[in-house]
Structure 1
């Protein structure tokens, strides 16, 4: 998904058209010996089973030639302009492109009967510390696991829920009532922000900039630190992470160095051409990675959303 977001960011910045094609019955073109199950499990929703391709670039003749070559080898359907890709909605506006999962969010809320519930302004309560022992165990944890799995997929376009999803993902084996309550609050947050998505601005630079942060020893069960980092290509957010560190850090500076190391590894993977990474200090007030390390107050959460370039989908287009 980082590659897909990077492609969208580059195409939008350079004003390149995005073209979409679909290979009909793509699974019939492969030589498979394994047993294939075509029906999804009960209580799960998914998009139709298709193999979508997208193309972009400044050379329109080359793209047209490539499309003709694909059509000569496969039975393909031409969708012209890219609109849906792997369940993600791509909407174009005069100032850029918005990538969102509004339809998917609405289906998820309907699944749990929260489509008419009251919304909240933050995905998680400030200073809430979830523990392994969070009260009575759920008699049937299947719904909890299904919801957390669905929320993980939603983080493709919703970095603002990454920390909350990381927190509730820790208790898949034995979820308790407190864990389910945290999931339901997160869903109520999505109720009021279902149309929110990533904005990729047009005519922006393609400079790669990253931010990293860490909340030292914040896990109450293990005392592991929770780092977070995010990467911007120009003004577009293309990559981020919120995940507990594997080892206990003896000091806050150690946890910060570990977070910085992970962020630098991601930057190298994202094609740092000059092999140079500068490390300036970023104040807490201007640190967008803060939203990946802890639950924030309403005011600060909204500030971080603005910095992450999260916008509501255009409804008039």
Structure 2
């Protein structure tokens, strides 16, 4: 999804047209590279009941189907001079002189964009001859993401999915709220009565997780609720329904990708030390912006226990730096000038000092690998680490439940809104 958002943001900033294709019966086009047999299908009469069918082509339901379809599509694109991205194999590109065309693929959904409108039109005809595609015209709906074009950019939302979700879980009588989780509530793994049907909770959290592709505002809440999937209880379900009540307040909310020419990449990272009351693990969060448009974010509980808030913050820095290493390669392939160093903002003075200090001591030797990685990228000039006040930390929304006023202020700064700024 980061690749899709980065590609759309690049196209918007450079003024490229975006088109969408859908391949009919995609998995049936795959050529099998190994022997696969299947039982006689119902309705086919044979004399010998011990016979079976040897497949010459791929079928829906085969474990190999998706891989064989990808191989088939890749071969067709390779024959036309395209190569796949080294950062993401679902992205193909072709550059010849001033012509630059990108093809983003997700199973049978394809997005085309670039500078060469003639090549894009020719490629659409070429793919139709090979696979029989459905040309959906200008990009408006892709992987559940709704693209709404404005004079100053595009708004990406999941409005239809959100409305359907509210209907599915019968939220018509619920009163809307202004924040996804109450800041005073602390959920624990063993508090409350076990749910008789845990699949209801798991289904709800799974659908909420899909919404985080455009809803930065619920990313922390969803990762927090995901910690209780194994044995969900009544308080966990109530908290999940609280998120639904928040979604009801504005189901059309999404991220706005500006057409401003600024492509400067900046990142914010934060952590909430020992946030989990059961394991005492910290929560890391980061967000990456291209100009003023959010293209990448993450909220995740750390895998180990941090012995201090400085250590927790430093692990958050390491997470975002790891993402930036990959993102810088992707931006280079998208032909977006990624001005180095990339500015990373952290609200912990201690974490900034640890990154800049070349000497290890008692407090940092147990996170030596993290220290080496961040310092190496700092010395290479990939990143530049800055301290900012906590009230200016945009990643705060990804590490803890916030009061509704602060929650709204951060979302406004992140261009999370229904209507783009004027």
Contact 2:271–2:312, Cα closer than 8 Å, also in 1 = yes
| SS class of match (1:175) | coil
What is the aligned counterpart of 1:260 among 309, 317, 334? 317
Give 1:35 shift.
7.7
Q: Distance in 1 between matches of 2:107 and 2:400?
A: 38
User: What residue in structure 1 maps to residue 129 of structure 2?
Assistant: 72
User: What residue in structure 2 maps to residue 16 of structure 1?
Assistant: 16
User: What residue in structure 1 maps to residue 30 of structure 2?
Assistant: 30
In the TM superposition, what are the counterparts of 1:126-165 in structure 2 within 5 Å? 126-165=183-222
User: What residue in structure 2 maps to residue 43 of structure 1?
Assistant: none
User: What residue in structure 2 maps to residue 305 of structure 1?
Assistant: 411
| SS class of match (2:193) | coil
User: What residue in structure 2 maps to residue 55 of structure 1?
Assistant: 112
What is the aligned counterpart of 1:167 among 224, 227, 231? 224
Give 1:36 shift.
4.3
* Structure whose alpha-carbon radius of gyration is higher: 2
| SS class of match (1:19) | strand
Which 4+ residue blocks in structure 1 deviate beyond 3 angstroms?
31-38, 272-275
User: What residue in structure 2 maps to residue 296 of structure 1?
Assistant: 402
Contact 1:197–1:313, Cα closer than 8 Å, also in 2 = no
State the aligned residue count. Answer: 304
User: What residue in structure 2 maps to residue 249 of structure 1?
Assistant: 306
Q: Distance in 2 between matches of 1:25 and 1:86?
A: 17
Give 1:25 shift.
1.5
Please say which of residues 301-310 and 57-66 is displaced more in the overlay: 57-66
Q: Distance in 2 between matches of 1:313 and 1:65?
A: 35
Give 1:115 shift.
3.0
User: What residue in structure 1 maps to residue 372 of structure 2?
Assistant: none
Contact 2:288–2:297, Cα closer than 8 Å, also in 1 = yes
Q: Distance in 1 between matches of 2:109 and 2:419?
A: 23
Give 1:9 shift.
0.6
Give 1:127 shift.
2.7
| Relative contact order higher in (CA < 8 Å, ≥ 6 apart) | 1
CA deviations on 1:139-193 (whole Å, 9 max, x unpaired) are: 1111100000000001000010011101110111110000000000000000112
User: What residue in structure 2 maps to residue 178 of structure 1?
Assistant: 235
Q: Distance in 1 between matches of 2:309 and 2:142?
A: 41
User: What residue in structure 2 maps to residue 87 of structure 1?
Assistant: 144
Q: Distance in 2 between matches of 1:7 and 1:158?
A: 18
User: What residue in structure 2 maps to residue 6 of structure 1?
Assistant: 6
User: What residue in structure 2 maps to residue 45 of structure 1?
Assistant: none
Q: Distance in 1 between matches of 2:128 and 2:302?
A: 47
Give 1:248 shift.
0.8
Structure 1: stretches of 5+ with no match in the other structure? 39-48
| SS class of match (2:328) | coil
CA deviations on 1:88-113 (whole Å, 9 max, x unpaired) are: 11110111101110100111111110
User: What residue in structure 2 maps to residue 42 of structure 1?
Assistant: none
Contact 2:28–2:59, Cα closer than 8 Å, also in 1 = no
Q: Distance in 1 between matches of 2:275 and 2:123?
A: 51
CA RMSD, 1 decimal? 1.8
Asked if 1:280 corresponds to 2:386, the answer is yes
User: What residue in structure 2 maps to residue 271 of structure 1?
Assistant: 328
Q: Distance in 2 between matches of 1:292 and 1:308?
A: 12
Q: Distance in 2 between matches of 1:308 and 1:134?
A: 35
Q: Distance in 2 between matches of 1:219 and 1:194?
A: 29
TM-score (norm. length: structure 1):
0.92
Q: Distance in 2 between matches of 1:118 and 1:112?
A: 14
CA deviations on 1:13-55 (whole Å, 9 max, x unpaired) are: 11111111111111211246588459xxxxxxxxxx9821111
Q: Distance in 1 between matches of 2:215 and 2:327?
A: 20
